[in-house]
Chain A
Amino acid sequence: MAETRWTSTDGDVEHESPEGPMLLVGTRKGLWLVGADATRSRWSVAGPAFLGHVVHHAVVDPRDRRTLLVAARTGHLGPTVLRSTDVGRSFVEATRPPAFASGDLLGRALRAVFWLTPGHADEPGAWYAGGIPQGLFRSEDGGDTWAPVPGWNDHPRWADWAEWPEEGTPDGSMLHSVNVDPRDPRHLYLGLSGGGVFESVDGGGDWAPLNAGSVATFLPDPEPEYGHDPHCVRLHPLRPDRLYQQNHCGIYRMERTDGRWVRIGDNMPGDVGDIGFPIELHPRDPDTVWVFPMDGTDVWPRTSPDGRPAVYVTRDAGEQWRRLDRGLPERGWLTVKRQAMSVDAGDPVGVYFGTTGGEVWASRDEGGEWSCVLRHLPEVYSVEVADPTERD
């Protein structure tokens, strides 16, 4: 995308570079950039970059506001990370992409880089990557060279936690939701599908399961120590002892001081349920959370319950939920994957999601009204926001 050309989303009219938030839309067939004007009402698109590559995740570094990492592979070529230091105008491949150690005792080979998380604000250039299978990797140089995190990958209990060598989920068992405590770069959380939520307080040297209170109805013991299936785990940056997760078995909140997950999804309407993939937090209000429920009944169609798509929001940390569907189709069988929902830092907050049907939806009023800003893309795997302040 060396010559980033922005055009209108409904034609080929050339636009100026967008001044508002920019969405990084990773799809099964490449990366698109979707940008808004300052009012977030007019959208333009640039791309595709890496057409034909599976893009699991694309993230801008909030610390330098310019580095953009893309987790990519094709159907048969090995996984890699592509880097831009000019917010997507040009890319180079990582010199040493994430990989397990050569001679790994379990013979593991990385099939995909699935998740990217920028490191702590005090560690510029540090990044974490989660893989399929469930390896954890770290870069110290802005994603150019990567090394395994041995405290995780070689943990004596890793094979049990990761259910190695079984493949627990249809797309392979993945490591996702790496969260870094903003108060302490050594305090980390991650999610395994399957395996559960895990925590380290020593920079990844040692780990422990953190699943008390969450259920795994697909196991003989529904409340095991590990083996759960968190779909997406988020820590609130302004209240880092509060965690939320959208799990295969419900929506949960944890106050870390309590150490126990509470199923706040029990407060969702019974006919909608509390199954889904993504969960997104308000950047300034730790009590406000958005989810996109899906049908987890019968054979798990994973589409909108009863074909009536809606986002749900809570404003009180999960006590009550409100349906947000104005502007969404009355009938639609949408699926939104775990990386495919995001928020910006605007006031009011902009909320965005991409569907497996190749649509990108936006709300500039915290979900009050939705509009489809782009359609006919390949299956959307991820939507992340680069706020305008990150592109100055």
Chain B
Amino acid sequence: MTADKTVRGDTAFEPKIIGFLCNWCSYAGADKAGTAQSPYPPNVNVIRVMCSGRIDPQFVMKAFEQGADGVIILACHPGDCHYKEGNYRAAQRYRLLLQLLEPFGIERERCRFDFVSAGEGDKFVQVITEMVETVRALGPLIIPA
């Protein structure tokens, strides 16, 4: 998976980003962007989870280890969680995970958390676009063999 990586600053670098999207809000938001045929960068590989609270921080570590340059977690807005409080759990894990990633040398911008509801196709496009540009500017994440 690291074969397509190029050096920092090379314009040929296309970030590989893993997106964990909650089934009820954010995935539906992505669908909305798709239905509306809104263009957005194709760099995010979406993994649908039943709830953002299901996202084990090990998934994020594993994504980076397997060659992701960035990971984005999208959850329901506070109060909208289908399971009442899964998104609060996810937010708490995310804030703590950021503290863990820093000493590993992984910039905090490589792991983003945001809220996208089922109606927010436009916000999905905006968040994804920002994320791809941020990671593109950071360059590839190279894991030593």
A binds B: no
Q: Which residues of B contact A (CB under 8 A)?
A: none
